[in-house]
Amino acid sequence: MLDWVWGFVGGLMIGGAAAVYLLFNGRIMGASGIIGELVDRTGWGNWAERLAFLAGLIGVPYLLSLLIGGETHLTSNWLVIVLAGLLVGIGTRLANGCTSGHGVCGISRLSLRGIVATLIYLLAGGLTIALLRQVIGVI
Amino acid sequence: MMRRYGLAVLSGGLFGAGLRISGMTDTIKVQNWLDVFGTWDPTLAFVLGGAILPMAVAWRVAARLERSYLGLALPAAPSRDLDRNLIAGSILFGMGWALAGLCPGPALASISFGGIGGLVFLLAMLGGMVAAPALRVRLDGAAPAARPRSKMDIRALTPTYAVSPQIELSDLPAIKAAGFTTVIDNRPDGEIPAHLHTPHMKAAAEALGLTFVANPVIGGALTMENVRLQSKVMADATGPVFAYCASGNRCSVVWALMNAGHRSTDDLIRTPAKYGYNLEPLRGQIEAFAAESGAGID
């Protein structure tokens, strides 16, 4: 099947997951917030719910990978991996959201912060890729 | 409540499966989506579109609910503050996302098959998350974010009791900083916007270490129980008490009645009058209370 069809189907599942988390657990499904507030201790009040979410988030793709495999094609450049991880960690916590919190949950709610954050990280990402691939010729 | 945790596993699992099936755990697909001038891959637009559809419906459903289907509090209305943290953070996140092609959700979802590289990315990301709060404070200090327009005005009737018109969640740190230890909400939830209802205010106040008590006074239908509860909260408080309602008027009336007999009726009417609260029509009632109780709490 075409990539975009899989993309759309996967997207519906992501949105469905966010809908369950909102309508039942009463919470916004933001990956960076769920784990970030465990790491900085601000979310210890409901740690069990966060760990349960993370168990599903890590466990189900593991089971799927046994059936259909999985390959991330991540760069093998350690410097790039560490730098990217740090930037994603710091950036999502400063902005209080990532692709799921600001992107999926924010835009669908027409939240000004969600829409602005998404436009900015898409623009920053696009410029970074253009610079690295087209101008400098790395990655 | 086990269902809460079961549904969290279900939600996380569905999220993870969706990320894997949509191709978002493949860093090359993500980088190609961002590569508008090169090998552009539009898949991510379909993923985002597909995810927004059910969520847009869910938000509409949630807007009609008082609480979630499990009886839990729903998220507060979103802030509209476009502060420096949001902008700087989004720029840094976009750069990191482009560099490796991973954002937090897929980084977690692919940890079982992402090899040592995926693990190193996750550890670096967690390290960044630990460092973020210190950076956030510095940015806040550089540019105090514009607060949403609030009606809060701390009007001290005594050194230990102040009244105010309706406050916002964002006012609580200032109330804490002003030295108050207890906040009383004298307004029934029915007349307040949903994001300022008791559960939200209570959670935010308690997160700051403030005691929060809801003592709803129905306009024009104040009860003895209202007066008794307000007195008890005052007696139990370890420091100054901050009470709010729509204008601060009801908080002043309750205060006058609970102090009836303890302070002169003239004083009980004159003090709120400094802030424009007219208790003159209640003079008879205050005097009746004074005759009955004798002693009140300041």
pLDDT for the residue numbered B36: 87
Token pair of A108, please? 């669908």
Q: Is B188 left (phi over 0), alpha (psi -120 to 50) or beta?
A: beta
Q: Rounded to the nearest 10 degrees, what angle do helices B27-34 and B84-100 cross at?
A: 120
Does the beta carbon of B294 lie under 8 angstroms from any beta carbon of chain A? no
Rounded to whole angstroms, the Cα distance separating B128 from A106 reads: 23
CA distances B259 to B123, B130, B157, B230, B248, Å, are 59, 50, 12, 11, 17
pLDDT for the residue numbered B150: 78
Q: Which residue has the tokens 């003239």?
A: B266
Segment A27-45 shows an average pLDDT of: 92
pLDDT for the residue numbered B289: 85
Does the beta carbon of A41 lie under 8 angstroms from any beta carbon of chain B? no
Residue ranges per structural domain of chain B: 1-74, 82-146, 155-293
Structural domain count, chain A: 1
Chain A residue closest in CA terms to B54: A15
- Mean pLDDT value across chain A: 94
A10 interaction partners in chain B (CB closer than 8 Å): 17-24, 47, 50
Q: Taking the CA atoms of B265, B271, B272 and B274 in sequence, report the sign of the dihedral they define.
A: positive
Does the beta carbon of B230 lie under 8 angstroms from any beta carbon of chain A? no
pLDDT for the residue numbered B145: 46
Whether the per-residue pLDDT at A13 is higher than 70: the answer is: yes
pLDDT for the residue numbered B141: 55
Q: What is the pLDDT along chain B (298 residues), one digit of tens a residue?
A: 789 999 999 999 999 999 999 999 999 999 999 998 888 899 999 999 999 999 999 999 999 998 999 999 899 888 888 888 999 999 999 999 999 999 999 999 999 999 999 999 999 999 999 999 888 766 655 544 444 567 889 999 999 999 999 999 889 999 999 999 999 999 999 888 888 889 889 999 999 999 999 999 987 788 999 999 999 999 999 999 999 999 999 999 999 999 998 889 999 999 999 888 999 988 998 998 888 765 444 4
Q: A45 is in which domain, residue-wise?
A: 3-136
Whether the per-residue pLDDT at A124 is higher than 90: the answer is: yes
Does the beta carbon of A123 lie under 8 angstroms from any beta carbon of chain B? yes
CA B70 to chain centre: 20
CB–CB contact A121 B123 (8 Å): no
CA distances A4 to A49, A105, B29, B44, B215, Å, are 32, 21, 11, 8, 55
pLDDT for the residue numbered B148: 53
Does the beta carbon of B204 lie under 8 angstroms from any beta carbon of chain A? no
Q: Residue A40 corresponds to which amino acid? A: D
Query: How many CB pairs (< 8 A) connect A and B?
Result: 485
SS3 B4: helix
Segment A68-85 shows an average pLDDT of: 94
Is the separation of the CB atoms in B257 and B291 below 8 Å?
Answer: no
pLDDT for the residue numbered B242: 97
ipTM: 0.97
Rounded to whole angstroms, the Cα distance separating B47 from A9 reads: 8
pLDDT for the residue numbered A6: 95
pLDDT for the residue numbered B20: 96
pLDDT for the residue numbered A43: 86
Which of A17, A89, A122 comes nearest B15 by C-beta? A17
CB–CB contact B109 A12 (8 Å): no
A105: confidence class by pLDDT, cuts 50, 70, 90: very high
| CATH class for the region spanning B155-293 | alpha beta
